[in-house]
Chains A and B, each alone.
Chain A
Amino acid sequence: MNIISIEHIRKMYKIGDVEVHALRDVSLTINRNEYVAIMGPSGSGKSTLMNMLGCLDTPTGGKYDFKGKNVSLMSDNELAEIRNREIGFVFQTFNLLPRSDALHNVELPLIYAGVGSAERKERATRTLIDVGLADRIHHKPNELSGGQRQRVAVARALVTNPAIILADEPTGNLDSKTGDEIMYLFSQIHAAGNTIILVTHEEFVAQHAERIIRLKDGYISSDEMVQNRTIPKLKTEENQQTA
């Protein structure tokens, strides 16, 4: 069953008299438990597409069905609810609340979902343990390494049990070893049955996915399955402990 189905999506920005076509004509479907990488040169529209898929942005034209419901017709509040329940975002720059500790950051989507305090703390703690941060629960972002911050962000994306995880260059700000750790985490999440879409510039990162969609100038230039998929191994001691 497909979760996402977009048809002839367009997105155009107007800056003064100049029209910038970020997406020209994009159609695709993504099924449950797929692991998709989106690649393409800078400015090809990857982030624009992700924002569209994540219901953060609305297309200028075309049709977007999320779980069979037409997103283009939804109100602002309905979109917020979809983002809250169905979508987990992971950003390149982590985007954690700087003054809150890891636990509160992970609790945040549950607060907006109306989950009670006790259950919230319980679920957030469990998710933080799942991503390997059992001993960093009460640390603030500036007391964490880049990799740990991204784990908090992943936990925050996972905690509501969303239909789909969207990650825009999640390893972009990390060194390669830490990046590998995060990719391992994603593979685990995927193995657990989640649907993942991630944007990356790096071929070896994309090779973790089952399918690679390449964008160019706002069009899909290719969309193919990965032949020799990388299945990340347990490399570090830390991963061994959490696995």
Chain B
Amino acid sequence: MKNIKPLIYELKEGLIIALQALRANKVRSILTMLGIVIGITSVVTMSTAIRGIDNSFQSGISALGSDVLYIDKWAWFSNEDWWKIRNRKNMTLDEFSQFKQLVQTPIAVAPVINSRQNVKFGDKVVENVFLNGSNADYVKTTNFTFDLGRFYTESESNGSRYVCVLGSEIAKSLFPMGNGLDKTVKIGGVNYRVVGILSEQGSFILGAFNPDNQVFMPMGTIFKHFANEQRNTITFNVRSKDNASIEDTKIEAEGVMRKIRGLKSGEENNFSINQQEGLLDNYNQTVGVIQVAGFFITGLSLFVGAIGIMNIMFVSVKERTREIGVRKALGAKRRTILSQFLLEASIICLLGGLIGLLFAVLLSSLIDRFITTSIQFEAVTLAIMISLITGVVAGLAPAYTAAKLDPVEALRYE
């Protein structure tokens, strides 16, 4: 008790003095604070932006389904030589039939043939749209929800009817009024009737892989007009019971595929089993690099701000040398002087940090218009912590200089 009381009074005195000093040197304090404001604004805004990209990716990638395997000639990510993969056999419908017969664990499998064509309605065109031709089972390998209509039926797909389901972005482009159902669109010059329009599924992060930018139709119609089995490879979409069993499904699928392809043990797979996870790993790596670079750059601005604080604190100590001498003569200890100047530096930084936070909130709501994001509580506490730590670190050297001033020298200082 005896020791804590003076400490509290000293700190309170330090606070009063620090605020007085700030008020007495308004312009200087504001200019110094600016460095911290910019630093904190950029650090927090950066973290919000990254979070936004993260959100979009996470929700976008979930459109691919974390429980879905995509067995394909092509690998999404591979260390193998491109020509080696290119020389693989195409995957065929015949192989798909065998595959469907043999596998036990998946709850749904569907063959998919892709093409890219322009999609037209009246004078509106969306160019180079990613087309998915499949059968009625396809929808079971997805989590599709519909704004309007439905997926095509088994009889429609067996009969290769000219019906299609539009992704939400495609529908928006062709039918800004939202009245696309039952309209006839021209896909690659062929008429299709719209039987369903998807609600928003993924996010822009996936680009052409985003179902929102795709069109779905019975695969027979694609083979008739835009692809042929000799030249084009198909993909098997395989959905496992749940996330937990995806590894089992993968092992089974691999075994079945090797059997169909007649591979001997020791021979390499001549197909790839792709899944969302691979995409996720790849994304995390990329974003990790962006994050490190981003925080390095924004951290640098904070560092520059800290140097500004340190500089101004040295000036402040110099200017108040005599005051320090007086305080020491009146009984201020080293720690009293030290804490007084640390407090002053921390207050500048804290104020700067709070203002920076304010700007960051404004900027983040701006970013929020483009990608869904919000300032997180952690970012706020982090910003406050960082600005406080910056204050203490930047103030340490000047405060220490002040604390160890010789009282006689200080009193003599002109």
Contact = CB atoms under 8 A, between A and B. Distances in A.
Contacts of A99: 20-21, 24
Contacts of B322: 95
A109 interface: yes
Interface residues of B, number: 27
Interface string A201-227: 000000000000000000000000000
Given A83-B329, A89-B329, A76 B334 contact: yes
Interface stretch (B3-11, B204-212, B302-310): B3-11
- Chain A interface size, under 10 / 10 to 19 / 20 to 34 / 35 or more: 20 to 34
A56 interface: yes
Contacts of B24: 99
B326 A97 contact: yes
Nearest to B5: A114
A56 B9 contact: no
A6 to B, nearest CB: 17
B333 A76 contact: yes
Contacts, number: 74
Given A56-B407, A113-B6, A114-B9, A81 B331 contact: yes
Given A112-B10, A116-B5, A84 B330 contact: yes
Given A95-B322, A95-B326, A114 B334 contact: no
Contacts of A54: 329
A108 B327 contact: yes
Contact of A85 (B2, B323, B331): B331
A112 B323 contact: no
B332 A80 contact: yes
B359 to A, nearest CB: 31
A114 B6 contact: yes
B411 interface: yes
B411 A95 contact: yes
A156 B411 CA distance: 17
What 10 A-B pairs come out closest when comparing CB atoms? A84-B331, A114-B6, A112-B331, A80-B333, A109-B330, A114-B5, A95-B326, A56-B407, A99-B20, A57-B408
Given A81-B331, A112-B10, 9 more contacts: A51-B408, A76-B334, A80-B331, A80-B332, A83-B331, A95-B411, A111-B13, A113-B331, A114-B6
